[in-house]
Chain A
Amino acid sequence: MDSKYIIIIICILLAAFSVWWELARANRSRLLLRGISVLLAIAALACIALPISYNGDKTISGNDAVLLTDGFDADSLSRFNGLKIYTADSSLHKKYPQAKLISTPADLAGTGISQLHITGFGLEEDELKQLNGVPLKFHPQSAPQGITTISWNAQLHEGGELRVQGSYKNTSAQKIKLVLKGLSTGLDSGIVQPNTIATFDLKTRPKHIGRSAYTLLAIGKDTLEQEAIPVEIKPVKPLKILMLASAPDFETRFLKNWLTQNGYAVACRSAISKDKFNSEYINIDQLPLGSISATLLQKFDAVIGDQATLKTLKPVESAVLKQEVTQHGLGIIIRADSAGRSSSWLQQNFVVEILPGKEIATAFNLQGSTAKTAKLNFDRTVLRTQTSTQILVDDGQAHPVAATAIAGTGRLVYTTLNNTFNWMLAGNTADYTAYWSLLISNAARKAPVAQHWEVVSPLAVLNKPALLRLNGTFNAENSISINGIKSPPRQDELLPFEQVFAYYPESEGWQPATQQNGVTQWWYAYKKDSWPALHAAEKIALTNSYIATHNNLVTVTKQIHSLQQIEVPKLYFYMLLFAACTFLWIEQKISFR
């Protein structure tokens, strides 16, 4: 108390003396400003020496508690002065020993905590569930630098493209280079500018088959993050194709040769006269191709035919074909040979038009490919754009050249190009392959599978539960064994064919899961500290949404408002003193000149 008054008296004396000194000064310009500055400086000095506080509202009550989670900032804990601090993580306890270590967050439930402040990145869902009933308030840290989202096609077929997409949060002041490495070779890279959150899209075409863990590297001055991108590449299973032609032509011949040389099964029927056909069977048993029957069509995955043939089918054959497409998922590729609209079910969705102008060498855009094809003479026959069709190939000016439409369970693919064999003649197998692969893959009948396998938790981490889902006929006996440990299935309540297995991986890398029928599926387990930024971002989002959906009603009513003395930070007074002194110094410099 005494010191307070002494300070005030000293300051008043100082102020009086200073003001007198100012008045006595010979140079009387800016006297008022100088006077004010001197008084302000002295007042600021006094305030620095004296504790200044005001009465304010504070929402933190004595019964609140703080729970530290991974990523908390020790400096920001000062606002929770006087509150009990807990943590369920022993590593955090070592870092901040004042916190009380609890075994699980469940220990805090039912202890009468009025509000639990969670700092850091938040909790996992099961941990949040353990805090049932405790009003929660989340003070999230922003996610650290690193990869915050990631996605890639982990299973692909030979020749397919691996695309790794995601976003990177760069909080540093330097550029970050993201590199996709496979087989110890850099395959693609991208740059993230300083202080940005940027998306990236890295692509490569794996050349091998089987399993391989590619790596995604974030490189600043040195490697900041290195994550595995596990990929499994399966060989392509050849399809069975039926080709119908109204006359022997080059397009059919080249297509047949190309397919069969790659091991595909092709039966080809080309009309040579009225009701006379030339039949060819390559890599397939000899079947009667004279008339189209359901049993014949069931043996094929797709039918490729020119419009003339499909139009002149007998009514019975046409009906069988329609039935097979709409009910059993067969696909047809129709090669247009004339313009106009037709009422036939095959052509309902496709209207052929001829654009004005001469035949011109055109490069085409294929769906899903960024590069254009080599040029091909194009007679400017195009399809009309329709909402019911999906464009597969266009001529570079948004005129569809090939498109697909759904017909029941099957698909119709319609193309106006009849001279793609010219690519093959020019030795351009790449464009030919890309074009026909696109068309046939779209048309091919879906391969029936007995079981479908997926990993529910894609970034499974060591010693944390990894959920694996198997779709197929459920059988209670149907357990799988992972690394020799049997795991029983848990059937979904609503979808009887879904069954989930849980497993705690013990070693990193590929994990074999062997089903009872002997089929082994592979999945990947990560090290504990992999994907740090991603897991942090995930936890923050999870905690926020959990609190938003479960916990909001309790917090408001139980909050206790209390009147408290809040000290004004001294920083403001230092700034005031500094400003006043600066003015006085400058004023003196100016007046001396």
Chain B
Amino acid sequence: MANTQGIHKLQQVKQRYIFYRVLAALLLAAALGIAVGAVLFIVFHLPVYSGIAVFVVMLLILLAISKSWQISDANIAAMLNSSYAELEESAQLIIKPINELNLLETLQVQKVNEILQTLPGTPKHYAGYLKFPLIALLVAVVFGAILSRVDLSNNSPLSAAEIQQKKALPPEKVLPQIESLSISITPPAYTHKPQREQDRFTITVEDGGRVSWNIKTNIIIKNAYLLLNDKEVIPLKSADNKGWSAQKVFNKPGFYQVGIDGKLSELYQIQLIKDTPPLIHIKTPKPYTYIDAGEVPKVTVNTQVSDDYGVNNAFINATVAKGKGESVKFKEYKLAFPTVFSGNTKYDVQRVIDLNALKMEPGDELYFYVQAHDTHNQQSRTDVYTVAIQDTAELLSMDGVLTGANIKPEFFRSERQIIIDAEQLLKEKDTISAQRFKDRSNDLGIDQKLLRLRYGKFLGEEAENNIGDDRFDKDDHDHDGSEDNGASDFGNAQKAIEPYSHKHDNAEDATYFEPAIKEQLKATLTEMWKAELQLRLFKPQAALPFAYKALRLLKDLQQKSRSYVAKASYKPTPLKWEKRLSGELDKIISPTDKETLKPAADQHETLKKAVTVLGKLKYNPKINDSEKRLLQLANLQLSQRASVQPAAYLPALSAMRRLLWAGEKINAADIGIVERAVQKTLVTVKAMPKAEAAPADMGLSADYFKNLNR
């Protein structure tokens, strides 16, 4: 009874709560929708629906989070309790079934029921739910408005670009008889481009493209044609004398005019887009690659091939040169890339050239270049790259050592011996035990070390442990046994002191070699170090390149130390001066030669002279016939240039024609355009010798000079 009234009130409060909550979610979703939608629409140029979609999605999310309609009556009662003190924390009693109430509660329910009737249906704080969403909505609207303003300035460069584009396409003057125009341009097959239509006379067409004109006239006309480059006439054909058409394939740039019933339009430009040959960029190897002995005889050719329309094919053209001197032989190979070329614009291709597969041996050289074809069947090729394999036979030969000034052969033999031993070891690797292989490799490493220390002495280096260490010396002697002077040095105090004295930069050492030689010796030692390291690591294969390098450097050193012997001088027989120039000359004639050379005709002469007329036009539009003739000749020259470079010269040609036909209504801007084109065309003339003018003084200065000399 009274209880139902209370419950009714409670339900009212609950419904209002749900309503406010949903409204708040709606507003918040709208705010987010506006803000995000504005960003998407203005910045990312997405359609307006995106904003609505955001709104719907946000609304669903917010409702799903809050689930305000699921609020229980108990929660509402609790809320009422906390909001209204007069309920005395008893609002929940209303929803309790009556039969469960005790006496005190029944009394209290009655009291609460009465109080509930006096309470407003919408508690005051409900408005607070809307506070934040409203603020958010306001902020979103302001944000959107600002963004749309900012957008204008943001967009202005874009629109400026559009304006520029429009500027680049100035309005064309069209003959009044023409009602509509449709030009279809069919690009050639190699471009893979579709046919396109345009309604402007100015044409930009790919090389070899077909242009077909379809002109509709608003009246019936007798004939129409296109005048190409002032020379060639392309007749326009028509069935009904109203729709006219023609077509032509273009391989050259130029300009044309439309002629209708004998009246010519202004000049329209035909620009040609040339196909560029394919571009090849070899990333690896370097133009000159040297494969040292011991290195893997393989070269990776890593190439990028690109073209403006498409690459059809690319391959490596390799030539192997074998032999030396006159017995050199060449063999050509065509190596394909392991890529299928299907006409894309860019390819990154790679191919490993195995020099062994090409049957190359030490001393041989490989020359190769990459060639590519594009879809237009234009080809381009790179420079020739060279790969050479080191000729070990020459390096290991004793030729130079035996014949030249043999200064220190024992050092060289040692390095060579190490190489030979290492190679032998590698050959025997499969037949000997692993331990034995390691031992021998280590022994070679020790040999390499001793050799390095020996060379180090030349540079004044000190071995790390040779002071006072007899074993070191002994070891050295054992190695090649060439320095055997222990007996002769017996009792030599100096010799005894030497190992203990710490001598730096011995005078002899310092002057022994030139700095360049010292430098090379140092490089040799470095290579020896590296070879030793590899040998000690039981990797004779890896040590070989370094050992070979060291040997090559040593060999160079040896060549440098050869002495030069000058040729013996030649003594001619002395001249008899009295006989000189005393021969009979009467049979000798004096040759004469006469010719007339005309200087080459100056191809710019008319343009040079036209400048004066152009200058005159600026302040006096009246020109006489000879001046007009000069301008016409200049017009002819400009027309020739315009047919080759329409983009550069067509405006000037049009301006020149306007000047020629304008009569006295001359536009100063046209003169400027023509003048600029003339200045661009003319070449700077070199100053030729010239004579100054003598003063025209009735001989006064000559008289003065004469009297001065008297």
Contact = CB atoms under 8 A, between A and B. Distances in A.
B679 to A, nearest CB: 4
A211 B593 contact: no
A441 B691 contact: yes
A213 interface: yes
Interface stretch (A9-17, A38-46, A258-266, A570-578): A258-266
B689 interface: yes
Interface string B689-710: 1111111111010100100010
Interface stretch (B390-398, B508-516, B533-541, B594-602): B594-602
Nearest to B699: A497
A184 B595 contact: no
Contacts of B616: 509-510
Given A237-B690, A496-B698, A205 B679 contact: no
A262 B608 contact: no
Given A283-B597, A449-B693, A262 B615 contact: no
B609 A209 contact: yes
Nearest to A447: B691
Nearest to B612: A210
A247 interface: no
B24 interface: no
Contacts of A429: 686
A430 interface: yes
B491 interface: no
Interface string B630-672: 0000000000000000000000000000000000000000011
B629 to A, nearest CB: 15
B688 A437 contact: yes
Contacts of B697: 471, 495, 497
Contact of A208 (B611, B690, B698): B611
B588 interface: yes
A286 interface: yes
B698 A473 contact: yes
A436 to B, nearest CB: 7
A329 B691 CA distance: 11
Q: Which of B676, B687, B700 has the most CB of A within 10 A?
A: B687
B698 A275 contact: no
Contact of A472 (B600, B614, B698): B698
Most buried by A among B595, B611, B620, B691: B691
Interface residues of A, number: 73
Nearest to B683: A207
A471 B696 contact: yes
Interface residues of B, number: 55
Interface string A151-166: 0000001111100000
A274 B592 CA distance: 16
A423 interface: no
A441 B689 CA distance: 5
A549 interface: no
Contacts of B694: 329, 446-449
Contact of B590 (A157, A278, A444): A278
B678 interface: yes
B315 to A, nearest CB: 38
Nearest to B690: A236
B351 to A, nearest CB: 41
Interface string B147-174: 0000000000000000000000000000
A277 B686 contact: no
Interface of B: 581, 585, 588-600, 607-609, 611-612, 614-616, 618-620, 671-673, 675-676, 678-680, 682-698, 700, 702, 705, 709
28 contacts: A157-B687, A158-B685, A158-B687, A184-B671, A184-B672, A184-B675, A185-B679, A207-B679, A208-B607, A208-B608, A208-B611, A212-B611, A236-B690, A279-B590, A281-B595, A283-B596, A301-B691, A429-B686, A437-B688, A444-B690, A447-B693, A452-B696, A471-B696, A471-B697, A472-B698, A509-B620, A510-B615, A510-B616
Given A184-B675, A212-B612, A408-B709, 10 more contacts: A159-B688, A259-B689, A260-B597, A273-B588, A274-B585, A276-B588, A472-B698, A473-B698, A495-B697, A509-B619
